[in-house]
Amino acid sequence: MTETHWHPVLRASKLKKKPRAVTFEGEKLVLFRTLNGVSAIADRCPHRSASLSKGRVIDGTVECPYHGWRFNGKGVCTHIPLAEGPVKNRLVRSWDAREAHGLVFVTRDAKAAGEIPAPTWDHQAQVSRIWKATHTRR
């Protein structure tokens, strides 16, 4: 069994109004700002597999660019255009995400990962890689 830690995945200043795609443990995630902080969910719409990171953020939810389904920070579908009544059983996998030390951190399990540690030299190397990645990609 592997240990669970918080992992920095993006400079916080790079997460603005638009959702951002990142890779974490081999999975494609979309990061976005909710009304309560940052969230990380799978970057794949359960409807027709569009990339949610190409959508937009509306009222703390990420909207799929293809047909407009919206998902909250827990990956729950909260809106389907033209659908009436509550939305059921439309989930996207979610991860725990937090902003700290100028970075966005992600983990599989916030409770097991504990507190986000203050930056160390190990983090500095990872921060440097994130900085290079987010400043050389579009």
Sequence letter at residue 49:
S
Instruction: Please return the burial class of 63, using the count of CB atoms within 10 Å of its CB with bins 0-12, 13-18 and 19+.
Output: buried
- Nearest distance, CB of residue 127 and ligand FES, angstroms: 33
Site string for ligand FES, 46-85 (x = CB under 6 A): -xx-x-------------x-xxxx----------------
Candidates 11-19, 25-33, 40-48, 105-113: pick the segment binding ligand FES (CB under 6 A). 40-48
16 binds ligand FES, rule: CB under 6 A = no
Task: Find residue 103's DSSP bridge partners.
Answer: 11, 100
- Nearest distance, CB of residue 33 and ligand FES, angstroms: 20
The span from the CA of 97 to the CA of 40, in Å, is 6
The span from the CA of 59 to the CA of 103, in Å, is 22
- Which residues here bind ligand FES, judged by CB under 6 A? 45, 47-48, 50, 64, 66-69
